[in-house]
Amino acid sequence: MVDQPLRSWVAAANEADCDFPIQNLPYGVFSVGGQAPRCGVAIGDMILDLAECEARGLVDAGGAFGRPVLNDFIDQGRGAWDNMRTRLTTLLAEDGDRSLPLVPMADATLHLPIRVAEFTDFYASRNHAFNVGVLFRGPENALPAQWTHMPIGYNGRASSVVVSGTPIRRPMGQVKGEDGPLWTACRRLDLEMELGAIVGAGSRMGQRIGVDQAEDMIFGYVLLNDWSARDIQAWEYQPLGPFQSKALGTTISPWIVTQAALEPFRCEGAERLNPLLPYLQEKRPGFYDLTLGWTMNGQRMAQTNYNVMYYSSAQQLAHHAVSGCPMRVGDLLGTGTISGPALDQTGALLEMTQGGKTPVQVGAEQRTFIEDGDEIGLYGYAQGDGYRIGFGPCTGKIIPAQE
């Protein structure tokens, strides 16, 4: 006899292609009409109002769910996360409480789910790193010598992290001209399809954390698009790396899919080229069998899997703290662009168009990079038996530069 998947009394949650079945229960922040933002959980095509659940005494998060970000709940730790997941599963199961305060998702406005403490972006896909390295340095020097030994990253801007649906303005900036720098609107605007890890526990300054401890510190994941101005990046990135080319905006999906929801999909990542130092060696694989892809103006452009990545989010977090750098609840760690080996598996136009040399067809038009009015969407899900764990939309439309 085959066990049947757990079902909810919320009918839409039981549809096979629903992103938000009872096995998921991702957290977000929403508002309706002129009401203040508050915390909720996605279930089917509805949102469970966690603030109202607290007011009725159905759950207890110390008042954290009435606040406009999830940080205070996340800060309560893994025990609170696990207990709340168990409680919500009981309430929303087929024989659960049908008087729960549900809000139609179609009626709600979704907000940035956390107060982003810091944002760090990594470079953890060997396919992406090699492809971009070939474009800039040739195949013989594509990967820096240290790349296979440690996660490479840069400190980004928390202030420009925005929720899905927020318009992104094309940046102005310096680019390389024939006789010196030019001041212009970005001409080579790109996306980067990534996964973002939400840090759920802090560490002290001077404290190192092992990779297993780092794994336990991750609350959950969001889809992440690190918008990139490639022409500005090419002029500025030596010797200290990207700066203004990455500060224009970073879009994340509004629902945080918890680590617990993804646990059944844990898997190995890319094959190692050499042994890692002990502080980066994982006792169990830190990757997930996640289908990830992106669209332009509604057309699917590429699709791959998170399991192509070389470094996990836990390895990135452990490396981030190896110098004693303190981590905070609400820190956001981007994986870097997630790309498979083929062009239709790449997570950036820079790779797909070979640095702008080979246009791609989008509807009736061709693209090498993103034009004003284009909308980029990311999608992701883990496929279970009769259900899937989805992230929901992560979209952004480009609006013209302000000259």
226 in a known ligand binding site: yes
CB-side neighbour CA atoms (13 Å) of 391: 31
3-class SS at 153? strand
246 in a known ligand binding site: yes
**CA nearest 230: which of 188, 176, 277?**
188
3-class SS at 14? helix
120 in a known ligand binding site: no
Q: Which of 111, 128, 149, 320 is catalytic?
A: 128
The radius of gyration of the chain from alpha carbons, rounded to an integer in Å, stands at 21
123 in a known ligand binding site: yes
**CA nearest 7: which of 24, 21, 27, 25?**
21
192 in a known ligand binding site: yes
Q: For residue 187, give the amino acid letter.
A: R
394 within 8 A of 224, measured Cβ to Cβ = yes
94 in a known ligand binding site: no
Q: Is 128 a catalytic residue?
A: yes
Could you give the CA distance from residue 55 to residue 69 in angstroms, rounded to a whole number? Answer: 17
What number of other Cβ atoms are within 10 A of residue 183's Cβ?
Answer: 10
Could you give the CA distance from residue 27 to residue 64 in angstroms, rounded to a whole number? Answer: 13
3-class SS at 183? strand
397 in a known ligand binding site: no
Residue 139, φ and ψ in degrees, nearest 5: -65, -30
**Ramachandran region, residue 324 (left: φ > 0; alpha: ψ -120 to 50; beta: rest):** left
Give the N- to C-terminal CA distance of the chain in Å, as an integer.
Answer: 66
194 in a known ligand binding site: yes
Could you give the CA distance from residue 161 to residue 226 in angstroms, rounded to a whole number? Answer: 9
311 within 8 A of 97, measured Cβ to Cβ = no
Give the distance, in angstroms, between the CA of residue 200 and the centroid of all CA atoms in the same chain.
15
Could you give the CA distance from residue 235 to residue 245 in angstroms, rounded to a whole number? Answer: 9
387 in a known ligand binding site: no
Bond prior to 144 in cis (omega within 30° of 0) = no
75 in a known ligand binding site: no
| DSSP state letter for 93 | B
315 in a known ligand binding site: no
Question: Which of the residues are catalytic?
Answer: 128
Residue list, annotated binding site for Mg(2+): 226, 246, 250
Residue list, annotated binding site for substrate: 123, 137, 233, 237, 337
Residue list, annotated binding site: 121, 123, 137, 192, 194, 226, 233, 237, 246, 250, 337
